[in-house]
Structure 1
Amino acid sequence: MARTTPHHPPQLDSRPRYAQVAALLLDELHDGTIPPGERLPGERHLAAHFGVSRETVRQALEMLRRGGLVATDRRGSHATLPGRPVETPDSLTFPVGARSADPYAVDRATVTWEVPPLEHARALDLAPHRPTLVHRYRSATPDGRSLRTAVTSFSAVALAEVEELARYRDRADGATPAQLRRAYDWMRRAGLTLHHRDSIIQVGNASSVRVTRRVHDQYARPLEITDLVVDAGRNALVYEFTLPAAG
């Protein structure tokens, strides 16, 4: 959480203390201090943050759960508010290069829990026929001149180390929208150093290319593999990266 100064609910507020804390926490969910889908800090942290007891925090979370604003599973509580996740200036939006530069392009992304393509299984060191989290992305411009599709398979290591990714297993039905824009941020926050290797080849004709991206961590463990196909006609395929200055 960005703010560390404890909140002290107004003493003149007639609502129970837990309801005041729930309202303050809801404000932070709305303003993006805690992005949608991300795990909330623990009860001890929230108690110190709001200057209340852990029991008051539990009651506040239960109030938000009843309202469908917070969900809790074995990995903790997380925000369920709709909205676009907040991105840090130096983040790489997942999947890199899949989004069209056309502001009117329509995109769709879903996840499934399935056996990945054979090439993906080999790259991720998965046992034969072992299912994993598979992300599918499609972006198309209204005039149909630019189509980009991406299929990503995540490794067992990624799902074990990155809580935000593992949480998607329970909703990987192939129908529910699942934008994982901050996947790489989640990996970095889990202590993983990301090494990207992209291979680009021509597909069928001069207007289509395939980008195969492999990402591994500092221990050479595979994290994900993505197949991105871009049919951009005569438009240039442009990758744009921004790296923050040192210090």
Structure 2
Amino acid sequence: MLDLGTIDRTVDRPPYRQIADILRQHIERGRLAPGEQLPSEAVMIEHYGVARMTVREAIKELRTEGLVVAQHGKGVFVRSAPPVRRLASDRFARRHRQEGKSAFLAEAEAAGHVPGVDQIRVTNEAASAEVAERLGLKPRERVIVRSRRYLADGRPVEVATSYIPESIAKGTPIAEVNTGPGGIYARIEEAGHELARFTEEVSARMPSPDERKALEIGSGSPVLTLVRTAFDTTGRAVEVCDTVKVATSFVLEYDVPAR
């Protein structure tokens, strides 16, 4: 039987964090195996002598860390699938687009997740100074802006906003909610801009309140930020994508040649 330990009410650390610490330790040490169900709310309420909200806050901590998943009507289980592995050297391979898959769809499926996307919003806006510079546009030149949220097994893992020059995207499915099989890059290539290379800038920080809400994470959970610029074979920048990722949900893998 799992030893749920005890919480210390004389210390400053809140009870819900202490409960999360105990459960996290059991998961990390294998006492709670992948796919195994956590003790029920009722069991933990009685054992720790706390309110239901305290137990739920503890579970929320573990969910934001990507350690557990909640199944409606069944309970909370240790996550069995690994984080999404983002392989930079493969994710933009043309074969994925030819198979009708976006980069995230291919990666999430490879990691054993059920991928999803929601909160899609498409607008036509004047480019900010930074976006215009990255795309080589004149100040305030128009761009199609596509924002969306990506999910793995129904759990938000990243939000992304793409900026595509209006001269490329206007009148194409890029300006529609549904871009069709293969996503934005498939449509850009169909518009005559064969993709040649990508540059990426990766950093880490704490999320903003809006990002915490969209990603359903706590204030103490860090995010990874990745700004990518896509170039065609003529050297023209054809897209800038600003992505915010839940840090615990991804492994970033890079294959860099020694030369």
TM-score class, shorter-chain normalisation, is 0.3 to 0.5
- TM-score (norm. length: structure 2): 0.44
- TM-score (norm. length: structure 1): 0.46
More helix by share: 2
